[in-house]
Structure 1
């Protein structure tokens, strides 16, 4: 099991950043390798990814959601095994820190090698940087899901 912790400062208000993060179906716009995300229920998402030509599908369940504070999840089906939490921290009226903690369990030899070489960590760091660019360029969130789990 690999443990990853990354963070990024975003120049946008806390609620804007949180609301955008909860728009899971927009994740392919800034997450590398994510082809499609479908929110099937308030707490269940279906993911299709493709990394280096390897296509995977899995479901993730939101296990905890506190608006403007945190979203936690775990995979519940498919060939990806991970759990994580994203927390949101108000720095001031115009800046927010986004912190990601991810537990990733590589599946197979190729995943294990990629993990050992730091691919998952670099991917997470790059995804957060692209999220920052995405929300800062927009200036406003495209929607928001403020449910609780």
Structure 2
């Protein structure tokens, strides 16, 4: 199963980044194709995603492995996607966000669309980098929490 790893440095404290990461309702502001997102229970997340004009839902379970440091997620709706988001403090005002994602290419295509085959890996990497940049912009546009 392919693994994708990306990272970005954000000018914000680890607490501010962690708090924003857990604001599920804001996911449409930085996750490509996400139209709506909401918490379901204590660890569940539901995303309404638009893939090439077709709407569908994605359900995932999240766990905080190390509070204020690492959150893991895995889909629970049949597609086999999972990953983690880890925060690494650079200093009191800067945080490195590392994303690691494991995915089955066929199921990633079914869930999020895009090209198939070799081009799909590049498209997924590009989408994750763009989502991280949008997340960075969102966090940096908010005053420190």
Q: Structure 1 residues 104-113 or 58-67, which shifts more?
A: 104-113
Query: What corresponds to 1:35 in structure 2?
Result: 35
Match for residue 124 of structure 1? 128
Q: CA RMSD in A?
A: 2.0
**Where in structure 1 do 4 or more consecutive aligned residues deviate above 6 Å?**
none
SS at match of 2:77: strand
Q: C-alpha distance in 1, partners of 2:14/2:117?
A: 31
Residue correspondences, number: 140
Cα distance in structure 1, aligned partners of 2:114 and 2:51? 14
TM-score of the two chains, using structure 2 as the length reference: 0.86
Q: CA deviation at 1:18?
A: 0.8
- CA gap of 1:115–1:14, structure 2 versus 1, over 3 A, is farther
Equivalents in 2 of 1:130, 1:47: separation in Å?
17
Give the aligned partner of residue 53 of structure 1: 53
Q: Give the equivalent residue in structure 2 for 1:145.
A: none
In structure 2, the residue corresponding to 1:26 is in which secondary structure?
helix
Q: Which runs of 5+ in 1 are unaligned?
A: 142-149
The answer as to whether partners of 1:106 and 1:112 remain within 8 angstroms in 2 is no
Distance 1:81 1:91, change over 3 A: same
SS in structure 2 of the partner of residue 46 of structure 1: strand
User: What is the distance in 1 between the residues matched to 2:101 and 2:89?
Assistant: 21
